[in-house]
């Protein structure tokens, strides 16, 4: 799909934009598009089709609704993400090297966040054989917020990625048993990424190279030991990145009602190609006192003159260094295909199941490039010869395609009350511990849902649900971080999400 760079907030009501980034499923996928489906543990979503949320779950289901209906819902998600890691700097490259040195700060950190993810749908029956609808919902989101000063700060402090779809759809009856639905959607993407840059360590590397050229390897080793001990992790710069974008995609649904008790549904949502733009801001760069303190510290090293110190610090702070600037990023979010079945087993009991495929292999990295490349390669701060500012900031992900499998059931207690339950296994697209970072502590997930629906009046019903999502413990061996400063995080991560949801359904 094609994309355009349009400011996100100009398009979206504040309430929908509140869909929080901590409310994520496997990868970045957010499944909280309807409360009944939450109660079923997200099983059977493309075949359940009992309210206006069919717009997101399977637009062909619009023809199962009568008249004009609307559904307004909200999910409150409490995310408890835990990391237990040790972080160390890899050795500065010398023929005999330096041993890796630990990074200061606690390695056991927790991100505890409550987020709100709303959704809104409207469905209208045009005739016996046609219907239209529109929905606003969040298909992808992820995030975490770790405390300032923790050992993993060079990998991540705050991560927030949110998307919102505005999705008009149309459905028609193709045969007596088959209906087809399709539509297009506008997708808004917004991201905020923060981490610290260990500027002291990067300056130390620059000094080592300078001394090696002028004084030889023995002097370089002495300088490296002194520099790492005195300025490593002591002169952090906050790297604050914000980007946004708008893109367009397509949705398609198919429903086969084999008989009045059994139906099968298929739902497809296309991938989207975002060209996001924004800025990297690094406030410490503009603090004269911060800069002078670093110069004075570096000047006290063995074999370092005042000129060497000021040149090294300038290379890390000027337009060739950590100044920041305008960014752009090409981001591909995956297409999603769901196949579901529903069967009314008895007059009171119904069962359902589904398989969802997500094409996560299209999302292999998060790459941020500077729009202005005129100063690229002007410094020797990194091994490649590129500098902190002008080289691409890259978080490799290496996602693989993933599946979610779910089964659920409902029980009609009486004409007004229906009870719901279900469970799913949500496979993580992240299979390699080298790419599991605080940006996304992802692993396989186990989901259990409970819910209830109550027909309050003839034209008003209420849904409530709870789902428990356990993120399996996973190993962390992450070496990459956007600053390219060779900090390796080693340890484990795991998490739990608790989701409370409520929805009002009204028929006009």
The confidence score (pLDDT) of residue 382 equals: 41
Q: Please provide the size of the chain in residues.
A: 508
Q: Which residue has the higher pLDDT, 410 or 319?
A: 410
Q: Which residue has the higher pLDDT, 211 or 364?
A: 364
Q: What per-residue string of b and e applies to 415-447 under the rule 16 or more CB within 10 Å gives b?
A: eeebebbbbbebbbbbbebebbbbbbbbbbbeb
Query: In order of start, what are the domains of the chain with their CATH numbers?
Result: 3-507 (2.40.160.60)
The confidence score (pLDDT) of residue 482 equals: 56
- Lowest model confidence (mean pLDDT) among 63-72, 318-327, 359-368, 378-387: 378-387
Cβ atoms of 198 and 233 closer than 8 Å: yes
Does the pLDDT value for residue 2 go beyond 80? no
User: Helices 199-215 and 306-317 meet at what angle, rounded to 10?
Assistant: 140
Q: What is the pLDDT of residues 338-352, one digit of tens each?
A: 999 999 999 999 999
Cβ atoms of 424 and 472 closer than 8 Å: no
Cβ atoms of 157 and 195 closer than 8 Å: yes
Give the Cβ contact number of residue 166 at 10 Å: 17
Q: Which residue has the higher pLDDT, 214 or 410?
A: 410
Share of the chain above pLDDT 90, in %: 44
Q: What is the pLDDT of residues 14-41, one digit of tens each?
A: 344 444 444 455 556 778 899 999 999 9
The confidence score (pLDDT) of residue 153 equals: 85
DSSP secondary structure letters along 301-354: STT--HHHHHHHHHHHHSTTTTT-EEEEEEEEEPPEEEEEEEEE-SSSEEEEEE
Round the CA-based radius of gyration of the chain to a whole number and report it.
26
Does the pLDDT value for residue 372 go beyond 50? yes
């Amino acid at each position: 799909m094609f994309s355009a760079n349009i400011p996100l907030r100009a398009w979206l009501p504040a309430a929908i934009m509140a869909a929080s980034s901590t409310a994520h499923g496997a990868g970045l996928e957010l499944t909280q598009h309807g409360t009944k489906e939450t109660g079923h543990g997200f099983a059977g979503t493309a075949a359940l089709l009992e309210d206006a949320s069919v717009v997101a779950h399977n637009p062909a289901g619009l023809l199962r609704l009568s008249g004009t209906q609307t559904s307004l819902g909200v999910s409150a998600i409490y995310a408890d993400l835990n990391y237990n890691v040790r972080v160390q700097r890899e050795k500065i490259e010398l023929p005999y090297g330096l041993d890796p040195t630990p990074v200061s700060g606690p390695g056991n950190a927790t991100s505890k966040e409550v987020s709100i993810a709303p959704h809104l749908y409207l469905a209208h029956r045009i005739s016996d054989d046609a219907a239209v609808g529109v929905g606003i919902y969040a298909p992808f989101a992820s995030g975490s917020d770790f405390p300032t000063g923790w050992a993993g700060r060079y990998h991540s402090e705050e991560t927030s990625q949110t998307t919102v779809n505005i999705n008009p759809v149309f459905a028609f009856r193709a045969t007596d048993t088959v209906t087809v639905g399709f539509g297009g959607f506008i997708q808004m993407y917004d991201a905020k990424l923060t981490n610290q840059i260990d500027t002291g360590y990067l300056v130390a590397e620059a000094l080592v190279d300078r001394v090696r050229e002028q004084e030889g390897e023995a002097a370089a080793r002495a300088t490296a030991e002194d520099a790492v001990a005195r300025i490593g992790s002591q002169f952090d710069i906050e790297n604050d990145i914000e980007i946004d974008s708008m893109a367009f995609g397509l949705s398609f649904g198919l429903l086969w009602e084999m008989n009045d008790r059994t139906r099968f549904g298929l739902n497809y949502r296309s991938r989207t190609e975002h060209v996001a733009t924004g800025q990297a801001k690094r406030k410490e760069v503009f603090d004269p006192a911060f800069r002078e303190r670093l110069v004075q510290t570096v000047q006290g090293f063995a074999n370092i003159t005042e000129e060497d110190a000021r040149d090294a610090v300038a290379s890390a702070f000027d337009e060739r260094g950590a100044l920041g600037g305008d960014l752009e990023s090409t981001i591909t979010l995956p297409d999603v295909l769901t196949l579901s079945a529903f069967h009314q087993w008895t007059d009171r009991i119904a069962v359902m199941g589904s398989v969802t495929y997500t094409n996560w292999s299209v999302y292999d990295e998060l790459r941020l490039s500077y729009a202005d490349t005129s100063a690229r390669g002007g410094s020797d701060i990194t091994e490649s010869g590129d500098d902190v500012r002008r080289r691409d900031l890259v978080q490799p992900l290496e996602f693989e395609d993933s599946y979610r499998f779910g089964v659920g059931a409902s029980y009609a207690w009486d004409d007004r009350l229906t009870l719901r339950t279900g469970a799913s296994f949500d496979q993580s697209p992240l299979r390699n511990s080298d790419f599991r970072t605080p940006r996304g502590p992802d692993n396989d997930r186990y989901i259990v849902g409970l819910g209830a629906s109550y027909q309050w009046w003839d034209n008003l019903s209420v849904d409530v649900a709870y789902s428990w999502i356990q993120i399996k413990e996973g190993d962390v061996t992450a070496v990459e971080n956007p600053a390219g400063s060779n900090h390796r995080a080693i340890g484990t991560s795991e998490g739990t999400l608790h989701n409370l949801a409520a929805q009002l359904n009204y028929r006009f």
